[in-house]
């Protein structure tokens, strides 16, 4: 998934300060289901574009099951059998 935000407000590089990311370098973050990168394909005083690229690893998405039971397991069906004695 790719999300971009562009501004032409002068100085446009202030977008980096608003997002708390340096326009001069790429930031990479590890997520439980993949990886996210924030970068600036265009960064000048006239126009600045910030991009967020999220790469989802489908295998890690299925294997990682954190949180309380039932969270993230909407498709999983559970049956409880009780025996009355």
Q: For residues 5 and 15, is the Cβ–Cβ distance under 8 A?
A: yes
54 found inside a domain:
yes
70 found inside a domain:
no
Q: What is the pLDDT of residue 49?
A: 92
Single pTM value for the model: 0.64
74 found inside a domain:
no
Q: What is the pLDDT of residue 19?
A: 84
Q: What backbone torsions phi and psi does residue 28 show, to the nearest 5 degrees?
A: -125, 135
44 found inside a domain:
yes
pLDDT tier, 85 (very low <50, low <70, confident <90, very high otherwise): very low
10 found inside a domain:
yes
Tens digits of per-residue pLDDT, 5-51?
A: 999 988 888 888 888 888 888 999 998 888 999 999 998 889 999 99
Tens digits of per-residue pLDDT, 49-72?
A: 999 999 988 887 777 665 445 555
72 found inside a domain:
no
Our count of domains for the chain comes to 1
The range of the structural domain enclosing residue 45 comes to: 2-63
Separation between Cα atoms, residue 44 and residue 65, nearest integer Å: 42
């Amino acid at each position: 998934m790719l999300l971009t935000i562009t501004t032409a407000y002068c100085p446009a590089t202030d977008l980096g300060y608003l997002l708390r990311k340096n326009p001069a370098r790429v930031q990479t973050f590890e997520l439980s289901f993949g990886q996210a990168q924030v970068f600036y394909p265009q960064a000048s005083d006239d126009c600045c574009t910030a991009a967020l690229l999220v790469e989802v690893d489908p295998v890690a998405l299925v294997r990682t099951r954190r949180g309380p039971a039932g969270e993230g397991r909407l498709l999983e069906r559970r049956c409880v059998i009780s025996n009355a004695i």
